[in-house]
Structure 1
Amino acid sequence: MNNTEWYSIRALTLPATAVALLVAFFIVWLVLRVQFPKKWAGVYGDAVFTFIVVWKFSIIVTDFKAVIAQPFALLYFNGGTIGVFLGVMAVSLQLWWKRPKIQFDASGIAAYSWAIILTQSIYQWLVVLLNDNQTTSEVITLLVLSTLTVFILWRITTINRALVLYTIGLIIVALFQPHGLWQPAVGVSVILLILGIVIQRAGRI
């Protein structure tokens, strides 16, 4: 989806996509805190914090010259698409590194699946609602992801099936969006799918 709107929060102006992501993070944190043991909301909160910090300051990697010339660029800009992937990779490494301490039991695996699916779905829903894109792509995004999310969280119990099915659904939705498969959401979904499968298999060893 294209970002077409900007929102001002006091002196800070944010694109609708950033607002959608922050709201999605908060909603999912609340859901995890209510639905699962409290520690999983804490794990999610730590992951979100890591993602935001790496994504925000990844501009040092993506545009180092601009940061040197204008240090305040760190406050107003971020690493863009590359920053998103760096943030997701940092979160993946964090979760894997802390895996022995976190101990992903059955509730942890379920919480991981819920967190990934709800974060991406709520983000996509909000992006549709906060921006003004082609009606066809918006309707398909809302219908497909809404149906898929409810079905998966209601009927699918294994993380492998849940994330594989969701990733396939997200890819189908992406085909009807302006940037097609060349958008961060698809790559992020694949990375988190792989991480989820690895974590689940590692927990069985």
Structure 2
Amino acid sequence: MNNTEWFSIRTLTLPATAVALLVAFFIVWLVIRVQFPKKWAGVYGDAVFTFILVWKFSVIVTDFKAVIAQPFALLYFNGGTIGVFLGAMAVSLQLWWNRKKIHLDETGIAACSWAIILTQSSYQCLVVLLNDNPTNSEVITLLVLSTLTVLILWKIAAINRALFLYTFGLITVAFFQPLGLWQPAVGVSVILFIVGIGVQRLASETKSFGGKE
């Protein structure tokens, strides 16, 4: 989806896509906090904090000369598309690094599945509501992703199947959006699909090791 609107918060101006992402993070954190034990809301919150930190300060990597020339650029700019991918990869590495501390179980797998799918779905729907894009692409996005999200979280327990269906659905919807497949949301969705499968594998290994002990 194209960003067509901007929102001002005092001296800070944010694109609607950034606002949608921040609101989606809060909504999903609240859902995870209510639906699952408090621990998993904390894990999600840590992942969100890492993503925002890397995404925001990755401008140092994407536009180093501008930051050196104008250090205050760190307050107003972010790493853009590259920053989004760096943030997603940083979260993946964080989950891997803390895998023993997190101690994934069936509840944890479910929480991760909900977090991955709801974050993407909430973000996509909010981007549609906050921007002005072609009506047909907006309607298709809202109907397909909201319906798919409800069906997946209600009926499908296996994280690999759920993530595959959602990722496939998002890629299909992207064909009807102005930016097509060439948008960060599609690439990040694929990364999150891989992360979700990795989470399931880690949980299986942890369970196997626990059984041997």
TM above 0.5, yes or no, is: yes
Cα distance per residue 1:106-134 (max 9 Å; x no partner): 01000001001111111111100000000
Answering whether residue 109 of structure 2 is matched by residue 109 of structure 1, we say yes
* Structure 2: runs of 5+ lacking an equivalent: 206-213
State TM-score, norm by structure 2. Answer: 0.95
The residue identity in structure 2 corresponding to 1:182 is: W
| Alignment partner, residue 153 of structure 2 | 153
SS where residue 13 of structure 2 aligns? Answer: strand
Distance 1:125 1:109 in 2: 24
Gaps of at least 5 residues in structure 1 are none
Alpha-carbon deviations, 1:61-81, whole Å to 9, x = none?
001001011111100000000
Q: In structure 1, what is the equivalent of residue 175 of structure 2?
A: 175
Q: Counterpart of 1:76?
A: 76
Partner of 1:19: 19
Q: Percent identity?
A: 83
In 2, distance between residues paired with 1:112 and 1:46? 13
Counterparts of 1:184 and 1:165, CA distance in 2: 19
Count of aligned positions: 205
- Secondary structure of the structure 1 residue equivalent to 2:40: helix
TM-score, structure 1 length as denominator? 0.99
Contact 2:99 2:202 (8 Å CA) reproduced: no
Mapped contact 2:109–2:203 kept (Cα < 8 A): no
Task: Return the letter of the residue paired with 2:10.
Answer: R
- For 2:126, the aligned partner's letter is L
Detail structure 1 runs of 4+ shifted over 3 Å in the superposition. none
Deviation, structure 1 residue 199: 1.8
Aligned Cα root-mean-square deviation (Å): 0.7
